[in-house]
Amino acid sequence: MASEGLAGSAGSWVLGTFAVYLLVLLGIGLYSSRLMDSVDDYVIGGRSVGPVVTGFSERASEMSGWLTLGVPSDAFGTGVMAFYNGLGMIPADLFAWAGIAKRLRKYTEIVKAVTLPTFFETRFQDDTGYVKGVSAFVLMLFEGGYVGAQIVAAGTLLEVLTGVSSLVGILVGGVIVVGYTMLGGYFAVAWSDYVQGAIILAAFIVLPIIAFTNYGLPFGELASAGSSYTSVTAGMTGWAAIFGIISYAAIGLGIPGNPHVMVRFMGIDEVENIRLAALVAQLFMFVAYIGAGFVGLYALVAFGQGGIEDPNNVMPLLTLEFFPGAIAGIILAAALAAMMSSADSQLLVATSAIVEDVYHGYINPNASQERLVRYSQYVTLGLGAASVAFAFLAQNTPIYTLVLDYAWGGLGAAIGPTLIAAVWWKRVTATGSVASMIVGTTTMILWTQLSTLLELVGLMGAVEGSAFLTGLVGVYGLFPAFILSTATLIVVSLLTTPPEGVDDHFDSFNKPLSALSSSDDPTGTPEYVTDGGRDVGPKAVTETDNIRAHVRASEYWDEGDE
């Protein structure tokens, strides 16, 4: 069966490597399950995950199949313009680390929040429940779909590579992702992302280097194939070129609103480690985007125009071209793992929205930590099963349209402006936040269907007569949705009454967390503040120290001696 796939004789290596890799993930989940005492551990790792793992995990959770398959495919179709995929993402992620990470890490610990909806509710002093309810609904809606899309992608790739049915791929990928996420929570997700990210990064370093040794620089070959491949606008001019570049850059607007990325900032062990984590993440992203772009360009050189029927197979085919079956199996397993690294993070965020924000927030505020952890595992299992079912039903839906136009864009437009304002603008209000989320969500969904709507009302002809309108209608929806969401947030906030006491909270940004541990502090910060997860000594220095201290604090081994 495996020989019918794209990988041919390497298909058995892909399957074997993938099977071993999945067992490793389950092992991580089983080990991490020993470290969980509370819902904080399950959702954000007890704020004790070190900077290197956090940096890798932050990037691996976001890049997913878009990096491994989407960017090489884009470069194969458009040429050097595909490098613009990093045009928006690199500066946006740098801004997130520099402008959001430290403040969000501090603020969420000060107000004891482990999820964004709970953070918003506390920050805006909203006693109506609307902010938490609307933001939790948005997270469940888009993150739930996101998980399904990633599982679809993994199942489809497994089918293409090895010849197994997509149903088998969906079931295998879904069961493993749900299994280790349910067992190990954030610890398992972060550490599995670390392993996955390292393999992905190595693949996108080695592939272009080997291609270079075979073909030299690809630009001469690309120019002979067509001038558009070496054009920074892919041959487009005027408004089409401008809106094309805007669309690439606008992808980065999604970062502040995607909670599976933001939760990394909340889960890092110490505030001072954010710089190292940011450096790791930026190096990862820069190298990976450049490498992924060159993989697509070298595929054009190696196979020629029309040489690959499905552009999504660019990366797998170039891997099989250069590597023997065993090594190709490892690299292609990494491509599958990239999708799982996003699915696990999104699954965890959706779980936290249901258990922490809805159940703990509205239904049973006095629930014990043991019950919350147990319910989180049940919800992860239920959401995972629903995502696998969704993946089966949506297996013929275009993956990247589903991800970019709805999940990534929807979260970015709905949550992004509110999150940025929450840590930077004292004047933002709960009403303004709710209005912004509704406008962002609605605009993103409608803009994606704008061409169809214009066709229905008979206005598409007028649009096609104008280069500006044609470019505007075709621009990535996150661009207008983010602008409208931000404008709504500002206008409605200025028209409503801001919360009180925010000055004291903002002043805390300039203090070390240890200085805020006094109950006399005006922020009301209690003895909870730890800045390092658990208050342990000696202070953790390495990643292993963090884990060891966590195990010791859980008294797991002591319990075994009884």
Range of the domain at 220: 46-246+255-369
Find the range with the poorest average confidence among 61-75, 197-211, 240-254, 472-486: 61-75
In a domain, 51, yes or no: yes
CA-nearest of 361, 388, 223 to 297 is: 223
Total number of domains constituting the chain: 1
**Confidence category of residue 480, pLDDT binned at 50, 70, 90:** very high
CA-nearest of 97, 75, 130, 93 to 361 is: 130
**Confidence category of residue 537, pLDDT binned at 50, 70, 90:** very low
Bridge partners (DSSP) of residue 49 are 268
In a domain, 169, yes or no: yes
DSSP state of 287: H
Angle (deg, nearest 10), helices 11-32 and 166-215: 110
**Confidence category of residue 225, pLDDT binned at 50, 70, 90:** confident
**Confidence category of residue 36, pLDDT binned at 50, 70, 90:** low
DSSP state of 237: -
**Confidence category of residue 561, pLDDT binned at 50, 70, 90:** very low
Bridge partners (DSSP) of residue 268 are 49
Contacts 24+ apart (CB under 8 A), 163-166: 163/1, 163/2, 163/3, 163/4, 163/5, 163/11, 164/1, 164/2, 164/5, 164/15, 166/395
Measured between alpha carbons, how far is 338 from 66 in angstroms, rounded to an integer? 9
CA-nearest of 320, 347, 319 to 174 is: 347
Give CA angle at 59 (267, 230), nearest 5°: 160
Q: What is the DSSP code string of 326-349? A: HHHHHHHHHHHHHHHHHHHHHHHH
Residue 420's pLDDT is 95
* Backbone dihedral region for residue 115 (phi beyond 0: left; psi -120 to 50: alpha; all else: beta): beta
- Percentage, residues of the chain above pLDDT 90: 13
Measured between alpha carbons, how far is 101 from 266 in angstroms, rounded to an integer? 8
Residue 419's pLDDT is 94
Q: Which residue is listed with tokens 């997860």?
A: 533
Q: Reduce the secondary structure of 58-111 to three states and give it as a string.
A: HHHHHHHHHHHHHHHHHHHHHHHHHHHHHHHHHHHHHHHHHHHHHHHHHHHHHC
The pLDDT of residue 46 is above 50: yes
In a domain, 67, yes or no: yes
Contacts of 471 (CB under 8 A, 6+ apart): 239, 240, 242, 243, 244
Give CA angle at 266 (265, 271), nearest 5°: 70
CA-nearest of 125, 101, 122 to 47 is: 101
Longest CA pairwise span in the chain (Å):
80
Contacts of 1 (CB under 8 A, 6+ apart): 162, 163, 164
Higher pLDDT, 470 or 560: 470
**Dihedral sign (CA 74, 79, 81, 84):** positive
CA-nearest of 490, 515, 311, 299 to 398 is: 311
DSSP state of 539: P
Measured between alpha carbons, how far is 333 from 79 in angstroms, rounded to an integer? 26
CATH code assigned at 64 = 1.20.1730.10
Determine the average pLDDT of the residues in 523-545: 43
SS3 label, residue 268:
strand
Measured between alpha carbons, how far is 412 from 96 in angstroms, rounded to an integer? 13
Query: pLDDT averaged over the chain?
Result: 79
The pLDDT of residue 520 is above 90: no
Measured between alpha carbons, how far is 220 from 237 in angstroms, rounded to an integer? 22
In a domain, 363, yes or no: yes
Residue 151's pLDDT is 76
Measured between alpha carbons, how far is 251 from 447 in angstroms, rounded to an integer? 15
In a domain, 128, yes or no: yes
Higher pLDDT, 436 or 358: 436
For residue 163, what are its two tokens?
């010849």
Higher pLDDT, 430 or 542: 430
DSSP state of 260: H
Omega before residue 72 within 30° of 0, cis: no
Contacts of 463 (CB under 8 A, 6+ apart): 454, 469, 470, 473
SS3 label, residue 49:
strand
